[in-house]
Amino acid sequence: MSGSAPAGPARLAAFALLTCSLWPARADNASQEYYTALINVTVQEPGRGAPLTFRIDPGRYGLDSPKAEVRGQVLAPLPIHGVADHLGCDPQTRFFVPPNIKQWIALLQRGNCTFKEKISRAAFHNAVAVVIYNNKSKEEPVTMTHPGTGDIIAVMITELRGKDILSYLEKNISVQMTIAVGTRMPPKNFSRGSLVFVSITFIALMIISSALLIFCFIQTIRYINARDRNQRRLGDAVKKAISKLTTRTVKRGDKETDPDFDHCAVCIESYKQNDVVRILPCAIVISLQLIKINGKKKCLCLLTNLTLLISRRGVPGSVTGINIIRLQGPRGSVLLCYSE
């Protein structure tokens, strides 16, 4: 068969998988083993003493061809109605075989019909071998499939080498060719089925990874929102708790104005007349300004060393979702609330 290269893969992965599953099998199926062919060519040009010899590499035996050595003169098809026939697909394809030639090798170009048709037509004219050169300059030889062609040897070479030999034949220069068996190349483990499997696995992993990424992103957003709500609730609870603390103004004659009275526990300053102070549940008197500064999130009693929110006395349960506990401070039982 002389199929051309299939269309390129689609951009979308799903369409690529569908395309892979529908592609017909190519002649150069990478999963098949093949044999290389060692081809030596001898050109005897008129008026030249020593013959020109060169080697064609690489060559490849057909899948259904006998893997054997052969030697013979190379012949190309005769023109049909004055038109050159390089393909050998026409039923009128003929070869001129000189009487003194016992073995000859047909040189044909790939294209227009199957490999089997080309080889069978050359075998009908008693060729011992067929050398088919590619029809695309950048493609390497492929493993031809041609079941039912019998014992005729079939080899493929590159377009460049095929046209080199054809140029000598068109000048009526004698060309001898020897074909020998080269190396057996094992089949490659990568096939179309493997491609489909790898593609499906890759897409499945991508879907799973994307789902996990989306799940983690949603969980992170929910966590951040919950944390913000708790912080706002905590802040409201702090403000509410602080607002319920007892506030009074220091007057003349109060014990706080006594020089021997304890200073403010935070700023370590003496109380003055007209100072506004709050009395904490632990019986600590602290300046109102310091309560506002230190009570944004939590209130720290420097004497009891408790990082806790202050709640009003005698209210069990919770205040705006903040748990309430009773702690035994150095100055008696203190009803406090906490957030951690």
Query: Is residue 99 domain-shared with residue 172, that is, in the same domain?
Result: yes
Full residue range of the structural domain in which residue 285 is found: 244-338
* Mean pLDDT confidence for 316-326: 39
Which pLDDT score is estimated for 181?
A: 92
Which pLDDT score is estimated for 72?
A: 94
Q: What is the dihedral of CA 62, 63, 66, 69, to 10 degrees?
A: 40
pLDDT in tens, 178-206: 999 998 888 766 567 778 888 999 999 99
pLDDT in tens, 14-24: 444 444 444 44
- In angstroms, rounded to a whole number, what is the distance separating the alpha carbons of residues 317 and 337? 10
Which pLDDT score is estimated for 185?
A: 85
Structure tokens at 313: 């006395």
Phi, psi (degrees; rounded to nearest 5) at 336? -130, 165
Residue 199 lies in a domain: no
Confidence grade of residue 146 (pLDDT, cut at 50, 70, 90): very high
Which pLDDT score is estimated for 28?
A: 43
pTM for the model: 0.50
| CATH number of domain containing 182 | 3.50.30.30
Matching residue, tokens 């075998």: 123
Confidence grade of residue 49 (pLDDT, cut at 50, 70, 90): confident
Query: Is residue 146 domain-shared with residue 249, that is, in the same domain?
Result: no
Q: Is the pLDDT of residue 233 over 80?
A: yes
Query: How many C-beta atoms lie closer than 10 Å to residue 53's C-beta?
Result: 11
Query: Is residue 43 domain-shared with residue 157, that is, in the same domain?
Result: yes
Q: Is the pLDDT of residue 237 over 90?
A: no
Which pLDDT score is estimated for 265?
A: 56
Residue 6 lies in a domain: no
